[in-house]
Structure 1
């Protein structure tokens, strides 16, 4: 049966038949009103409950992720502080091995120099000249009265000349002894200088050790605060992670541009080294060379313990790590040189291109440092973004559940609006039926008085 036949089922007139169908539809909607309301209400509440459970689960996951992010942030802060402490202890060890390891020899030299200075000082002590033994006899003779005797005057004159000569000889001997003492004091001067230099060297070593000790005390205090810090308080380090991520990403972007430009310079010269059936051989060879440079730089920084992306390298013996570090450093210098030579073997390159290529490839050895910083901070930022995403999804689920409940209520109102005519008729009939069942006000009052008068 076609639509037109169905439409004209009740009458040949289209408006009359449409009105009949509309009336039948309104009657059917009116009869199914209660069921439709229950269906819409059950649909709204039924969809709201799973969304609430989903929001509760998302909030639970967000709480766990929040704790995990706080633990990760705190662990990264503790690891960075441990690296600072390890670096300071390494510097102290270097200082002790370089400066204070020679302390026994410095002490021996200091002791020898002090002994020499002491011996020279003892030799330079000024001793007063001993008076001659015959001065008392001369003094006794000088007290003899002359009484005008020329012999006595002559004897006294001879004694006077003898005394003058003895005084001159004593002064000469004293001056000679003074010059000798001055020579001894002059010999002490280089020993004093050596002693001063030795003390300065010792003071520098002890002063550097004291400065490192103060730095270690500060870092240790911060480390203890981090160890005692609650995981919830560690979220204050999130802005620093954002700064590290931006700096690391910026450095990686710059190094990536350098690698791309170096690959463009190497692509044409390396294409001639591959078979003719490999058109992408030049580009592939250039990228392999750049990746080897990056790998050598990564192993170099791992051997120097500047990065910790490869934990197994840190477990190597110190001697093996030093050998690997030297080999990696040698490879980092030779590989750009080889690339520059390959470029020189091309078709008449610009004289500045080999130097430019060398300067572009060599900094790729530093890629591991910003890469580690970006990975560590990116892990924290990724966790924070995922946490915010879970919170947003939980809010969306709750809001969507409430919207569905309100939408079901709105649909119920729209449903009632469609059948407002049968509902209006029903409301009118209910009002009339209620009016018939209720007694008039006057008869109700008389009945109350009659019942009240019959009471004793």
Structure 2
């Protein structure tokens, strides 16, 4: 900025100095007598004026050229200043948006600190909605992954070996097809992480731009390679199905079906396109996966709290029930025990009456 100000100051227009012949003309005009002297003076003044004019004009042009050179040299600086100003404007707009988001997060945080029921309910509802929506998208993505698996399972069995088993029921070809699908999902995850669309791995987001761009290019190249491999496997699947159908026709002694040209190639082209597109579609599963991971903590926490509350209610109910059962058992115990007690009291009462009568008789005889 200091350099630009100095160049701008240097490029300012400097007015030419006042001509020196003005005073001379005033002196000549004051002469009263004519003759050769005034004429010679005027000729000399004319020559001087012409020289001064040429000199002043050349200096004026030279100063203009210098100012133009200064302005031309300052043009890249002005362009850089304009670029910086536009970038600063964009950053200020971004900063303003981030400030609004921070204000919203701070408001939520204050509500969480004060244990505001409204804020907790809003956060819980938002987490559940996000969890169910992302779960629905994940289910759809799993359907796409299943179709993707079906496209490459048959050709992988021919490549790896259909009779090769890892366990009694788990084929090596199935595991290989599943590994390819998981690698596609991983490359898509790294691609979205390097683009800072998702933030499941903070270390990737904190990389410098150069390393992040390299990771993005590497992930994209690997994803394209895997998509090409899957497209070729889809082509191989169509060829295997065609060969199997031809073999079945040969075994059944049926005349071969005449092909109808490009019309019969449509399923093969569709499978190849699907095999190339599905890996890129599967790459976007990282977005609902991030939403699921972030909302799963809240969902699990709420479910645990509700489970503990339900367990506490059940334990309290069982405790009250056992307490009431103890009271009932006590009353039930009183029912059979009260009869012997009543008989005992009745016997004691009879014995007391007999002893009282004996004492009365002995007192009367005495």
Q: What TM-score results when the alignment is normalised by the length of structure 1?
A: 0.50
Contact 1:297–1:332 (Cα < 8 Å) also in 2: yes
Contact 2:192–2:286 (Cα < 8 Å) also in 1: yes
Over 3 Å counting, the alpha-carbon distance change for 1:180 and 1:309 in structure 2 is closer
Residue 250 of structure 2 corresponds to none
Residue 183 of structure 2 corresponds to 292
Residue 340 of structure 1 corresponds to 231
Question: How much does 1:336 deviate?
Answer: 0.9
Matches within 5 A, 1:297-446: 297-300=188-191, 306-308=198-200, 326-345=217-236, 346-347=238-239, 350-399=268-317, 402=320
> Is 2:162 aligned against 1:268?
no
> Is 2:137 aligned against 1:230?
no
Number of aligned positions between the proteins: 306
Question: How much does 1:391 deviate?
Answer: 2.0
> Is 2:144 aligned against 1:258?
yes
Cα offsets for 1:393-447 (capped at 9, x unmatched):
333444455566667888999999xx9xxx9xx9xxx9xx9xxxxxxxxxxxxxx
Contact 2:160–2:172 (Cα < 8 Å) also in 1: yes
Question: How much does 1:245 deviate?
Answer: 1.0
Matches within 5 A, 1:237-256: 237-256=123-142
* Structure 2 residues without counterparts, runs of 5 or longer: 166-170, 240-264, 350-366
Over 3 Å counting, the alpha-carbon distance change for 1:127 and 1:192 in structure 2 is farther
1: distance between equivalents of 2:109 and 2:320?
44
Residue 17 of structure 2 corresponds to 127
Question: How much does 1:134 deviate?
Answer: 4.6
Contact 2:199–2:205 (Cα < 8 Å) also in 1: no
Residue 83 of structure 2 corresponds to 201
2: distance between equivalents of 1:272 and 1:174?
95
2: distance between equivalents of 1:411 and 1:187?
112
* Structure 1 residues without counterparts, runs of 5 or longer: 1-106, 145-151, 434-456
Q: What TM-score results when the alignment is normalised by the length of structure 2?
A: 0.60
Question: How much does 1:114 deviate?
Answer: 4.8
> Is 2:65 aligned against 1:180?
no
RMSD: 5.2
1: distance between equivalents of 2:205 and 2:63?
63
Contact 1:129–1:170 (Cα < 8 Å) also in 2: no
Question: How much does 1:339 deviate?
Answer: 0.9
Shifted more, 386-395 versus 222-231: the winner is 222-231
Over 3 Å counting, the alpha-carbon distance change for 1:310 and 1:259 in structure 2 is farther
